Structure 1
Amino acid sequence: MASDGRKQPPWVPPRAQPNAQIPQLKIYNSLTRTKDDFVPVDPTGKVVTWYACGPTVYEDAHLGHAKNYVSTDIIRRIMKDYFGFSVKFVMNTTDIDDKIILKGRQQYLLARFKQQHAAEDNSVSDSVLAETKAAFQHYIGKNLPSLPSDTSPENFSEEADKAYEENVKPRPLADATTAQQGQALTVADLLLRAHIGTAKSAAEALQAPGTLPEFFAKATDVLLPYLDVLHGAEMDSNNYEIYLELTQKFERRFFEDMDALNVLAPDKLTRVTEHLPQIVHFVEKIVTNGFGYATPDGSVYFDIDSFEKAGHSYSRLEPWNKNDRSLQADGEGSLSKGKSMKRSESHFALWKASKPGEPAWPSPWGHGRPGWHIECSAMASEVIGKSIDIHSGGVDLRFPHHDNELAQSEAYWSTPGCQVQWTNYFIHMGQLRIRGLKMSKSLKNYTTIRSVLSQSEWTARSLRICFLLMPRQDGIEVTDELMKAVVGWEGKLNNFFLKSLDIWKHSSHPMTTRQEPSAADQQLLNALEKAKVDVDAALRDSSNTSAVMRILSDLVTESNSAEALSDQTIILLARWVTRITTIFGLDPEGDLNNPDRIGWSGLDIPAPAKPYVYPASHLRDKVRTLACAGSVDHAAIAKLAVEISTAAPTPVIESSKEPYHQVLHRFCSDITALTAQQAPAKDLLALCDQLRDVHLWNLGIYLEDRNSPQPALVRPLDKLLVEARAEQESAGAAKAKAKLEQEAREAEAEKEMCERARVDPLLMFKASAEYSEWDEDGIPTVDAAGNVVSKNRRKKLVKEWEKQKKRHEEWLAMQQAA
Structure 2
Amino acid sequence: MAQPPWQAPPEPSELVRARLPKLLVYNSLTRSKTPFVPRDREGKKIDWYACGPTVYDDSHLGHARNYVSNDIIRRILSDYFKFDVNFVMNITDVDDKIILAARQQHLLSLWLEQHAAVDRDVLDTTHAAYKAYLEKTLPMIPAVTPPESLPAGIEQIYGHVLAGKSIKNDGSPPGDDEAKIKMHLKTVSQAGEALVLTEPTIEEFSLKASGVLLPHIDALQKHTITGKDYDIFTKLTKKYEDRFFHDMKSLNVQYPDTLTRVTEYGPQIVNYVKQIQDNGFAYEHEGSVYYDTHAWESTGGVYARLAPWNRNDKELQQDGEGSLSTKNTGFKRSGADFAVWKASKAGEPSWKSPWGEGRPGWHIECSAMASDVLGKQFDIHSGGIDLAFPHHDNELAQSEAYWSKSGKDSQQWVNYFLHMGHLSITGSKMSKSLKNFITIRDAIGNGSWTPRGLRIVFLLGAWRDGLEVTREVVKAGRAWEDKVDNFFIKIRDVQARQHPAPGINGATNGVHKLDIQEVAISGPMAKELELTKKQFHEAMCDSFDTPTGLRVISDLITLYNTQKAVDIPEAVALELGKWVTEIVVMFGLDAEYKSGQLGWSGLDIPIEAKPFVIPLAQLRDRVREAAKAGAVNVSDLSTLEDKDTTYDSNQPYANAYADFQRKLHQLQAQNAAAKEYLAASDHVRDKVLWDLSIYLEDRDAEHLPALIRPLSQSLREERSTRDAAALTKAAAKEKARQDAEAADKKKAELGKIDPLRMFRTLEYSAWDAEGLPTHDAEGMEVAKSRSKKLRKDWERQKKAHESWKIESGVVGEIPAGKGAS
Normalising to structure 2: TM-score of the pair? 0.87
Contact preservation (8 Å) 2:150, 2:189? no
> By how many angstroms is 1:35 displaced?
0.5
Counterparts of 1:408-807 in structure 2 under 5 Å? 408-416=398-406, 417-507=408-498, 511-512=516-517, 514=519, 522-563=523-564, 564-566=566-568, 567-590=570-593, 594=595, 596-633=596-633, 635-636=634-635, 640=637, 643-653=638-648, 658-707=651-700, 709-747=703-741, 750=744
Aligned partner of 2:186 in structure 1 is: 197
> By how many angstroms is 1:529 displaced?
1.5
| Residues 299 and 227 of structure 1: CA distance in aligned 2, closer, same or farther (over 3 Å) | same
Partner residue of 2:61 out of 60, 63, 72: 63
One-letter amino acid matched to 2:152 = D
Partner residue of 2:336 out of 340, 343, 346: 346
Following the alignment from structure 2 to structure 1, what is the Cα–Cα distance between the partners of residues 141 and 67? 42
> By how many angstroms is 1:241 displaced?
1.4
> By how many angstroms is 1:648 displaced?
2.1
Q: Find out whether 1:165 has 2:156 as its counterpart.
A: yes
Following the alignment from structure 2 to structure 1, what is the Cα–Cα distance between the partners of residues 192 and 750? 67
SS at match of 1:705: strand
Comparing 284-293 and 603-612, the one that deviates more:
603-612
| Residues 733 and 654 of structure 1: CA distance in aligned 2, closer, same or farther (over 3 Å) | closer
**Which digits, 9 at most, give the CA deviation of each residue in 1:603-649, with x for residues without a partner?**
1112232233323333433443344442443x52xx52xx3432321
Q: Find out whether 1:241 has 2:241 as its counterpart.
A: no
One-letter amino acid matched to 2:382 = S
Following the alignment from structure 1 to structure 2, what is the Cα–Cα distance between the partners of residues 433 and 516? 46
Comparing 669-678 and 323-332, the one that deviates more:
669-678
Contact preservation (8 Å) 1:612, 1:661? yes
Following the alignment from structure 2 to structure 1, what is the Cα–Cα distance between the partners of residues 367 and 350? 20
> By how many angstroms is 1:194 displaced?
2.0
| Residues 180 and 227 of structure 1: CA distance in aligned 2, closer, same or farther (over 3 Å) | closer
| Residues 525 and 748 of structure 1: CA distance in aligned 2, closer, same or farther (over 3 Å) | farther
| Residues 162 and 111 of structure 1: CA distance in aligned 2, closer, same or farther (over 3 Å) | closer
> By how many angstroms is 1:761 displaced?
11
| Residues 620 and 208 of structure 1: CA distance in aligned 2, closer, same or farther (over 3 Å) | farther
Aligned partner of 2:293 in structure 1 is: 304
Comparing 137-146 and 97-106, the one that deviates more:
137-146
**Which digits, 9 at most, give the CA deviation of each residue in 1:435-466, with x for residues without a partner?**
10111122221000010011223100000000
One-letter amino acid matched to 1:353 = A
> By how many angstroms is 1:326 displaced?
0.4
| Residues 748 and 326 of structure 1: CA distance in aligned 2, closer, same or farther (over 3 Å) | same
Following the alignment from structure 2 to structure 1, what is the Cα–Cα distance between the partners of residues 198 and 755? 76
Partner residue of 2:243 out of 243, 247, 253: 253
One-letter amino acid matched to 1:731 = A
Following the alignment from structure 2 to structure 1, what is the Cα–Cα distance between the partners of residues 123 and 178? 30
Aligned partner of 2:313 in structure 1 is: 324
Following the alignment from structure 1 to structure 2, what is the Cα–Cα distance between the partners of residues 28 and 157? 55
Contact preservation (8 Å) 1:168, 1:193? no
| Residues 665 and 148 of structure 1: CA distance in aligned 2, closer, same or farther (over 3 Å) | same
Aligned partner of 1:17 in structure 2 is: 12
SS at match of 1:646: coil
Following the alignment from structure 2 to structure 1, what is the Cα–Cα distance between the partners of residues 623 and 469? 46
> By how many angstroms is 1:233 displaced?
1.6
One-letter amino acid matched to 2:12 = Q
Aligned partner of 2:80 in structure 1 is: 82
SS at match of 1:132: helix
Aligned partner of 1:4 in structure 2 is: none
Partner residue of 2:42 out of 11, 23, 44: 44
| Residues 330 and 508 of structure 1: CA distance in aligned 2, closer, same or farther (over 3 Å) | closer
SS at match of 2:696: strand
SS at match of 1:648: coil
SS at match of 2:301: coil
One-letter amino acid matched to 1:90 = V
> By how many angstroms is 1:84 displaced?
1.1
Aligned partner of 2:366 in structure 1 is: 376
One-letter amino acid matched to 2:610 = K
Contact preservation (8 Å) 1:237, 1:358? yes
Comparing 701-710 and 560-569, the one that deviates more:
701-710
Contact preservation (8 Å) 2:165, 2:171? no
> By how many angstroms is 1:713 displaced?
1.4
Aligned partner of 1:112 in structure 2 is: 110
Aligned length: 778
Aligned partner of 2:818 in structure 1 is: none
Unmatched runs of 5 consecutive residues or more in structure 2: 501-514, 773-780, 812-821
> By how many angstroms is 1:277 displaced?
1.4
Contact preservation (8 Å) 1:77, 1:585? yes
> By how many angstroms is 1:762 displaced?
11
One-letter amino acid matched to 2:156 = E
Following the alignment from structure 1 to structure 2, what is the Cα–Cα distance between the partners of residues 124 and 168? 32
Counterparts of 1:265-414 in structure 2 under 5 Å? 265-295=255-285, 297-334=286-323, 336-340=325-329, 341-414=331-404
Comparing 78-87 and 178-187, the one that deviates more:
178-187
SS at match of 1:35: strand
Following the alignment from structure 2 to structure 1, what is the Cα–Cα distance between the partners of residues 547 and 498? 33
Following the alignment from structure 2 to structure 1, what is the Cα–Cα distance between the partners of residues 192 and 757? 75
Aligned partner of 1:227 in structure 2 is: 217
| Residues 39 and 179 of structure 1: CA distance in aligned 2, closer, same or farther (over 3 Å) | farther
| Residues 600 and 334 of structure 1: CA distance in aligned 2, closer, same or farther (over 3 Å) | farther
| Residues 170 and 645 of structure 1: CA distance in aligned 2, closer, same or farther (over 3 Å) | farther
Following the alignment from structure 2 to structure 1, what is the Cα–Cα distance between the partners of residues 336 and 478? 47
> By how many angstroms is 1:298 displaced?
0.8
> By how many angstroms is 1:532 displaced?
1.0
| Residues 165 and 810 of structure 1: CA distance in aligned 2, closer, same or farther (over 3 Å) | closer
Aligned partner of 2:127 in structure 1 is: 133
Contact preservation (8 Å) 2:162, 2:182? no
Following the alignment from structure 1 to structure 2, what is the Cα–Cα distance between the partners of residues 631 and 170? 70
Following the alignment from structure 2 to structure 1, what is the Cα–Cα distance between the partners of residues 533 and 169? 46
Comparing 666-675 and 13-22, the one that deviates more:
666-675
Following the alignment from structure 2 to structure 1, what is the Cα–Cα distance between the partners of residues 616 and 463? 46
> By how many angstroms is 1:346 displaced?
1.9
Contact preservation (8 Å) 2:150, 2:192? no
Contact preservation (8 Å) 2:48, 2:85? yes
| Residues 179 and 148 of structure 1: CA distance in aligned 2, closer, same or farther (over 3 Å) | closer
| Residues 111 and 762 of structure 1: CA distance in aligned 2, closer, same or farther (over 3 Å) | closer
Contact preservation (8 Å) 2:179, 2:428? no
One-letter amino acid matched to 1:605 = I
Normalising to structure 1: TM-score of the pair? 0.87
> By how many angstroms is 1:678 displaced?
4.5
Following the alignment from structure 1 to structure 2, what is the Cα–Cα distance between the partners of residues 479 and 494? 23
